[in-house]
Amino acid sequence: MNDGRDRLRIAVQKSGRLSEASLDLLRRAGLAFRASRDKLFLYGENLPVDVLLVRDDDIPGLLVEGSCELGIVGRNVLDEQRLAGGAAPAPAALIDLGFGHCRLALAVPDGGPIGTIADLAGLRIATSYPALLADWLRAQRIDAEVVLLNGSVEIAPRLGKAHAICDLVSSGATLAANQLHELATVMHSEAVLVASPRPRGAAASQLVERLGARIAGALSGAGARLLMLQAPRTALPAITRLLPSREAPSVLGLDGRPDDVAMQALCNASLDWQHLEELKRLGARGVMVLNVERMLA
């Protein structure tokens, strides 16, 4: 890979909102790991792919310097790095992963004097995302002071360090616990799979591509159902209209039964008992629903 390594490295958040879902996704993509004693490194047992457990904010840097080929990180962390880095090569987002949804938001103390974003003019705002915040303030034409804090941003107003904060909000529990409320959303974010901008050798590129395809497959398989049934040929249009289907169903003829067909359809997770009962009313028989574990497009 880079610097003479012969194993691929994926950087994942060590402990935080994305950690568990990230490792779960890698397992669903077929990777099996053994933890090192210090728990900072997971050794890939069935592919030459290891996981590095690090602070999420360090992940873009590790990708840029080529210490890791892939990473899973919030889009907010990636965008912050790209804005702050200027013209330097930045990691590229490969796939939206559909978990870790949150927003970067401006929040102010409950019952305080700040009622609208215009009131922020001339005030201090604490954040771990100075580039994203500065960019947003510029776009809103608000002249405020950005104060960089690398942790516990939510207590800055109480400590008198800032009048407002700009931080990630997911459930809103952290804001509520600190008597803060949201004033505006700066950006929406979710976990993304990112790749190092460094050129890689052929073997590494191939492995990156293979893992990307597997991860995409694990994601699109999630929640998918395969519906199988037999029905009179005449009932097909009504049946097809009813299905929460992802694509046109496959229809097969049945030996010696010219009026009947067998049908297979890939449906989404909303396929429920009510659908099955409806299908039966339309003449379907032998209705079967299977969970789809993986898909390779």
Beta carbon nearer to ligand PRP, 107 or 204: 107
Beta carbon nearer to ligand PRP, 21 or 242: 21
For residues 74 and 18, the answer to whether their CB atoms sit within 8 Å is yes
Site of interaction with Zn ion (CB under 5 A):
56-57
Binding pattern to ligand PRP, positions 168-207, x when CB under 6 A? xxxxxxx---------------------------------
> Is 15 a residue that touches ligand PRP (CB under 6 A)?
no
Q: ∠ CA(32), CA(296), CA(242), 5° rounding?
A: 125
Full DSSP string of 88-131: S--PEEEEE-S---EEEEEEEETTSS--SGGGGTT-EEEES-HH
Residues 157 and 162: their CA atoms lie apart, in Å, by 5
For residues 42 and 53, the answer to whether their CB atoms sit within 8 Å is yes
> Is 239 a residue that touches ligand PRP (CB under 6 A)?
no
Measured from the Cβ of residue 269, the count of other Cβ atoms closer than 10 Å reads 12
Q: Which of 165-173, 207-215, 222-230, 267-275 is the region at the interface with ligand PRP (rule: CB under 6 A)?
A: 165-173
Beta carbon nearer to ligand PRP, 81 or 261: 81
Q: Choosing among ligand PRP, Zn ion, none, which partner's interface includes residue 212 (Cβ < 5 to 8 Å by kind)?
A: none
Binding pattern to ligand PRP, positions 109-138, x when CB under 6 A? ------------------------------
Beta carbon nearer to ligand PRP, 17 or 163: 17
Binding pattern to ligand PRP, positions 246-285, x when CB under 6 A? ----------------------------------------
Residues 223 and 297: their CA atoms lie apart, in Å, by 16
For residues 270 and 245, the answer to whether their CB atoms sit within 8 Å is no
In order of 5, 62, 71, 201, the CA distances from 67 in angstroms are: 10, 5, 11, 14
Strand partners, 169: 103
Which residues within the stretch 17-76 sit at the binding site for ligand PRP (CB under 6 A)?
17, 56
> Is 214 a residue that touches ligand PRP (CB under 6 A)?
no
From the CB of 163, what's the least distance to ligand PRP, in Å? 18
Q: Choosing among ligand PRP, Zn ion, none, which partner's interface includes residue 167 (Cβ < 5 to 8 Å by kind)?
A: ligand PRP
Residues 50 and 29: their CA atoms lie apart, in Å, by 13
| Tokens encoding 30 | 């077929």
Residues that bind ligand PRP (CB under 6 A): 16-17, 56, 167-174
